[in-house]
């Protein structure tokens, strides 16, 4: 079996989450620095270097998942999946501002719970179209679940 790859569509689907992540990181870098210096963090907080590595991998997996959904279904079948996918990307982008720039840890926790629900809903819709696409979302679900626990812990330690 030979896979036919639509490189233009793959590039677009990889670029969207990677550019959103890059923009979020760039626009919140001062907030991240202040957080690293001022916030009380739980003992299980990963080292700072792990976050950009993990997010880059997750954004690539998301992009491949979105590519699989786009190339294995009709526009009509994609509508709900793509809407949820873009909505969760928006929530993902905004969370960094809420948490790092505004230091609104309690609101960020509520926001990330909604984000997690949107990611799971996206994976469910992806599963209806492409099982491999849904499976590619599992690391993202696990990471954001961990981030949710971390966010709540930061809220408790800094309120």
**C-alpha closest to that of 68 among 139, 133, 146, 154:** 133
Predicted local confidence at residue 3, as pLDDT: 76
Domains and CATH numbers, the chain: 7-158 (1.20.1260.100)
3-state secondary structure of 72: coil
Output the pLDDT for position 130: 97
Task: Give the global pTM.
Answer: 0.95
**Using the 8-state DSSP alphabet, how is residue 87 labeled?**
H
* pLDDT at residue 1 in the model: 63
* The residue to which tokens 């599992």 are assigned: 138
Contacts of residue 63, Cβ cutoff 8 Å, sequence gap at least 6 = 10, 13, 14, 15, 16, 17, 18
- Residues of the chain where predicted confidence (pLDDT) is lower than 70: 1-2
């Amino acid at each position: 079996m030979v896979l036919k790859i639509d490189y233009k569509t793959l590039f677009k689907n990889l670029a969207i989450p990677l550019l959103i992540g890059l923009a979020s990181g760039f626009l919140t870098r001062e907030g991240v620095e202040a957080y690293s210096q001022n916030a009380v963090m739980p003992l299980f907080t990963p080292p700072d270097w792990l976050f950009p590595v993990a997010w880059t991998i997750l954004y690539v997996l998301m992009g491949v998942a979105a590519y699989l959904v786009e190339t294995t279904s009709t526009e009509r079948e994609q509508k709900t999946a793509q809407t949820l996918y873009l909505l969760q990307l928006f929530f993902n982008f905004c969370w960094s501002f809420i948490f790092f720039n505004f230091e609104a840890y309690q609101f960020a926790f509520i926001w990330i719970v909604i984000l997690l629900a949107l990611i799971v809903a996206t994976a469910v819709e992806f599963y209806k179209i492409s099982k491999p696409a849904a499976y590619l979302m599992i690391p993202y679900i696990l990471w954001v679940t961990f981030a949710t626990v971390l966010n709540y812990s930061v809220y408790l330690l800094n309120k």
